[in-house]
Amino acid sequence: MDPTMALEQATRDALERAAKAIAGARRVVALTGAGISFESGVPTFRGPGGLWRQFRPEELANLQAFNRNPALVWEWYSWRRQRIAESRPNAGHECLARLERRLPAFTLVTQNVDGLHRQAGSARIVELHGNIWRSVCARRCGVVLDESPWETRRDPECRWPEPGALPRCTCGSLLRPDVVWFGESLDTDVLGCAIDEAGAADVILVVGTSGLVYPAAALPDLARRNGAATIEINVEPTPLSESVDIVLRGPSELVLPALEARL
């Protein structure tokens, strides 16, 4: 068999095995990362054109940076919100939303803050790293402001903080984006929910993540140790590739629909 045909055959076999595992599962969890939103035009963090290749996280995504220069941090998050507002969910997001409706128990655990899974129609979502469309009181007085991306589309300028007019909480403190910054812990309830879901899963689909950021990167192994079949969908090998049961190499916007078609 020529090498291309052998590779195609191997991919088909892997797709068949993955589909069989999903079809026979009672509980399925998908863990997603920035790769699933790449085709929608949302930059990843570490790949070519990745955000951490262009920007210094320590100047933009941590509390000290925000305390030092909140206008700069808001400017960066406003720019990211703008990019996301201009993007749409892709076939990968849509496919996961359909799987939730189709399978008996399906939970989406995402590291993404872009809200595209919800926009695609997923409902049972655990957002490990927060959501870029929400703002919270920087002093954590309890105020949370949930702003819909659709409003942004109508008036893209509305979330640009004017100099001297940074968004403020009703308590007088500054508002900050409701995302997890470097050096911060994940919300314990949110993480607990993700751990419970991964621990109870029969199948975990790991989609478009470099598997470098913990605790999210530990969830596939947790699921595997509790008996789940582990399936990775990624365009490149990752540190998780060695230990998963099935690797589906390719873009999630193509691989997920191909998998769904076999269910």
Q: Taking the mean position of all CA atoms in its chain, how far away is CA 35?
A: 8
Binders in 193-212 for ligand OAD, by CB under 6 A? 208-210, 212
Binders in 220-239 for ligand OAD, by CB under 6 A? 233-236, 238
Rg (CA), the chain: 19
Mark residue 78 as left, alpha or beta (left: phi above 0; alpha: psi -120 to 50; beta: remaining).
alpha
**Interaction pattern, residues 4-43, with ligand OAD; x per rule: CB under 6 A:** -----------------------------xxx--xx----
> Is position 134 an interface residue for ligand OAD (rule: CB under 6 A)?
no
Residue type, 86: E
CA–CA distances in Å: residue 4 to residues 7, 11, 143, 241, 246: 5, 11, 56, 21, 19
Min dist. Cβ of residue 1 to ligand OAD (A): 27
> Is position 115 an interface residue for ligand OAD (rule: CB under 6 A)?
no
Binders in 51-110 for ligand OAD, by CB under 6 A? none
Binders in 139-158 for ligand OAD, by CB under 6 A? none
| Active site annotation includes 129 | yes
Per the DSSP assignment, residues forming a β-bridge with 207 are: 32, 233
Q: Which is nearer to ligand OAD, 86 or 168 (CB)?
A: 86
Name 174's Cβ contacts closer than 8 Å, sequence gap at least 6: 66, 70, 137, 138, 166, 167, 168
Q: Which is nearer to ligand OAD, 28 or 216 (CB)?
A: 216
Rule CB under 6 A: which residues touch ligand OAD?
33-35, 38-39, 44-47, 50, 111, 129, 180, 208-210, 212-213, 233-236, 238, 251-253
Instruction: Catalogue the active-site residues.
Output: 129
